[in-house]
Structure 1
Amino acid sequence: MEKKYPRLQIAKYVAADYFSAMVSWILFYTFRKKIIVAPLYDSVGQDLNDPTLIMGIVIIPLFWLLIYYLSGEYHNIYKKSRLQELGRTIFITTLGVIIIFFILILDDTIISYKNYYQSFLFLWGVHFSLTYLPRLIFTTRTIHKLHNHIIGFPTLIIGSDEQALQLYNDLQKKPKSAGNQIVGFVTINGGPKTPLSNHIPHLGNLNNLIETINNQKIEEVIIAIEPSEREKIQQILTKTKATNVMIKAIPDLLNILSGSVKMSSLFGVPLIELSHELMPAWQENVKRVMDVVLSSVALVVLSPFLLVLAIGVKLSSKGPVIYSHERVGRFGKLFNIYKFRSMYTDAEINGPALSSKNDPRVTPFGRMMRKMRFDELPQFYNVLKGDMSIVGPRPERQYYIQQIVDKAPYYLLLFKVRPGITSWGQVKFGYAENVEEMIERLNYDIIYLENMSIYIDLKIMIYTIKTIMEASGK
């Protein structure tokens, strides 16, 4: 089976979109100047040297790429349908042309108002045609490869008995594949010798589910368990929701599944597709753009203040200015978090320990920084790297995560999003001094996950600024 290259596929879409936007703008410029306001332009040479044309060739394509990115056009690049592509291209073309019309075209010198309609329709028609044609070609080729098993999505079946066997047989009988490459199955209670083991490899059980997903690079999981195993459904959902995989289930489980679901048909094999999008794709992209822009601005604008803090840390006690420690991020990925050091260098000589209200390990300067949250400012660099977001659940060390998961397994749900510099739990609860308080703060983070939106992020940022101004941090 041919290996997928998502970045290369995205690059094809980006290149085609850029070229289509550039050509459509040149054609529109020629139409606008030669057809609508021809008396004002009597030389082709003047048109080719027009700064407006040159600027448009550079800026307009970038504008369209930004629109496509923010709207999620480059999301799930291998799971597009031709009908979906058509609808989204019509909508985004209409939106973009309206923006261009009001910003650039509305002040044109015209003979009659009919020229406005002509300009709008010409730009819309040319841009849509040139954009949709290559997309249609790319999507058709991808669908052909999926149907013919040339490319696929490594898929794991959870279940091993009659339900799972029936699902496997149904998938194998279909003349056109949806791209599901079944690599194996995991059992709930049974051993490796099950009806399904005669067809595909047995890869373990629920206890090593996450390890199996990571090792096999699983992209989709299909839950096909027996009615007698339904008490395990919540455990399965908790484990799998903490991973970056699409989760589907056979329809018989619909009445016991929680959360948003939608039907998905694998060319005749109906499945329930569990929604994993905590935010719409466009909001997630806007959030990322906000993270990059705000972090860049913060690091530049605050650089003199960061230098003052660095000097204060250095003069207050011996040791490095920046404290770096390993944390667990999105989808369980490890990364190094950066802070201004607020404790003495031997603070954890006896092992990991959470800070407390009057912690003697905290330096006087560090205590001031913690009250104002200034020690977290270097994490804007983590945001730029993509390890963190400005708003999101606070990242924890693996040492404490295991203790939390033992008491509150739903903590794994936090791995669905990037950890943040500030969070709803941080604003409403603050620093936790023990595992019990970390679990209590977790409740606020779960509320955040259930209500994620750009509006909520902005609200949390405002509350964080208020906390800083009031110096009410711990």
Structure 2
Amino acid sequence: MRHRYSILFFPLHVFVDFLSLNVAFVGAYWLKFKTLDAVGDPPYASIWILFNLTWLAEILISKPYIFPRQLFKAGHLLKKLLVLTAIHMAIISMYWVAIKGYYYSREHLLITYGLFLTLGATFRIGGLLFLKEYRARGYNNRRYVIAGYGKLAENIRSFYDTHPEMGFSFQGYFDQPNSENEGLLKGHFNELPRYVKEASIDCIYCCMPYIESTQLKRIVDHAEEADYQVKLLVDFRGFFSQGISIEYYDFLPILNLSSEVLADFRINFFKRCFDILFASTVLLLGSPVFIGIALATKFTSKGPVIFTQKRYGRLGKAFTMYKFRSMYTGSELILSGSQHSQGKEDPRITPWGGIMRRTRLDELPQFFNVLLGEMSIVGPRPLAEYDVETLMEEVPIDFQKILTVKPGITSIGQVKFGYAVNLDEMRQRLSYDLLYPERRSFLFDMWIIAQTVKVMIQGRGK
């Protein structure tokens, strides 16, 4: 008989809770009145009966003793106990007010609930510790197999191997044999029905990336007949950082893998309002500074004041980005057409351009890009065509995450790292900028802006 002792847990739990409730009631009566002579007489007899009936009703309605082993933890058990006790107290209080039973001792009732919580918590924690040790020794185990071999299958097995107190005993992998799982399988998918019966398997974990829908359907259809559970594992780990929500279309559940943060209209709306207000203020109040920088750029080297370049923003949309020119005209012919700045020693950068780069003044015209809606004040730096092609080839997944938000005048990567000279530095700056889509908020934007101002004042921009 499979798990012949598990069936006793429910009635034992019910019995102990009722015993704790009645011991608490009688014990509180003795502590309050120093006698038990009238505990079974009116008026306390009626409220004593109501105590038990109320607890019985809560058990029948909420079924508090039915939960999977994964939730069999102290925090979960104690939380349920507190909730049920709070509901019980509320019902008894309403009864007390309804009958105007002011002759009942409030102190007695409080002591009763205090004792009951103490006894209930002690039983739960003691029972939990006993079961964990009991199961860790190999008793009262659930036998499981995994259908579909792969990384996810190894993870679920590793989880139970490191938590023997949960009482799950691994019996083998089942899959279509191939070179990757050679020597690791217990058998083929077709052998599962026979093995489930012979080995008294309690649960089959089906890993969606590695099992076909037809195989899954056979396992589910056979579950009721063979008396085992089917657990479906789907690898959503790559999507959790973006946020997952479930939408119901009538009775049909739809899993929304779009980022809730990025799809939140209010966040985007208020960020856009802030961008417009901030950019307008800078352009209006900073116009004398803009004019001064433009004159200095014009008279220190030949060429246009404004440098324009094609960049790529949110969702890969191309736009023209504006900067104060910091290099000599024709610089693309120097250093064999290098795509990136070579730092302080780059011969293409003018002396005045070097000052602008260190203080980030060359980026100021991008406030016009902000007003046009092509950029934001804070966000990952917009990428040139060469950078896009390189990152798409080297780190396609990370690059796609960057494209989920508008590029910005300043970013974490710009503050912490600066301009990238080569592929390795591009990756390092990208690792900083990848933090933004997940953590963006008004306070985070304010922190990045403050750090940018600090870099400008200190003139330590790279």
Q: Normalised by the shorter chain, which TM-score bucket?
A: 0.3 to 0.5
TM-score by length of 1: 0.46
Look at both structures and tell me which one has the larger radius of gyration over its CA atoms: 2
Q: Which has the bigger relative contact order, CA under 8 A and spacing at least 6?
A: 1
TM-score by length of 2: 0.48
